């Protein structure tokens, strides 16, 4: 599965990863994962190393690396996208798979950005 993560204004989300979690959650079903490129593009595979993702419904969450024990600023800014329970991003993957997926994020208010 390939696609892009963009901000509603049109720019790419330039860092982080996406995780596709089966919905409803099932610990026995493989999750999908992809690291975002600087242009917001991704190529998603399963944690088990299989190419692509199995057909089904997924909630898409964002994952941002932490540094030196500190929360990544984007994790706070896009907090609702980091949890299974609150992410509004849902994908239904058919048997034929998906290409050209576009995941569009609401830009956070300036007040939501973590200050250094």
Cα 101 to chain centroid distance, Å, stands at: 11
User: According to the model, what pLDDT value does residue 21 have?
Assistant: 96
Measured CA to CA, the distance from residue 38 to residue 63 in angstroms comes to 15
What pLDDT score was predicted for residue 68?
A: 75
> How many other CB atoms are found less than 10 A from the CB of residue 59?
21
> For 1-5, 25-29, 45-49, which range has the lowest pLDDT when averaged over its residues?
45-49
> Which pTM was predicted?
0.84
Domains of the chain plus CATH, in order, are 2-112 (2.60.40)
Return the pLDDT at 88: 95
pLDDT tens digits for range 30-89: 899 999 999 999 999 888 777 889 899 999 999 998 877 788 888 888 999 999 999 999
For residue 74, what is the enclosing H or E element?
helix 73-77
Q: Which of 85, 86, 81 is nearest to 106 (CA)?
A: 81
CB count in 10 Å sphere of residue 35: 13
């Amino acid at each position: 599965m390939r696609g892009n993560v963009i901000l509603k204004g049109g720019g790419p989300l330039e860092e982080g990863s996406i995780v596709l979690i089966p919905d409803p959650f099932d610990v026995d079903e493989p999750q999908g994962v992809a690291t975002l490129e600087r242009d917001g593009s991704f190529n998603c595979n399963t944690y088990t190393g299989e190419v692509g993702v199995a057909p089904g419904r997924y909630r898409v969450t964002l994952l941002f690396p932490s540094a030196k024990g500190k929360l990544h600023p984007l994790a706070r800014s896009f907090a609702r996208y980091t949890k299974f329970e609150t992410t509004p991003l849902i994908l239904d993957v058919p048997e034929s798979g998906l290409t050209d997926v576009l995941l569009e994020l609401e830009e956070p208010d300036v007040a939501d950005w973590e200050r250094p």
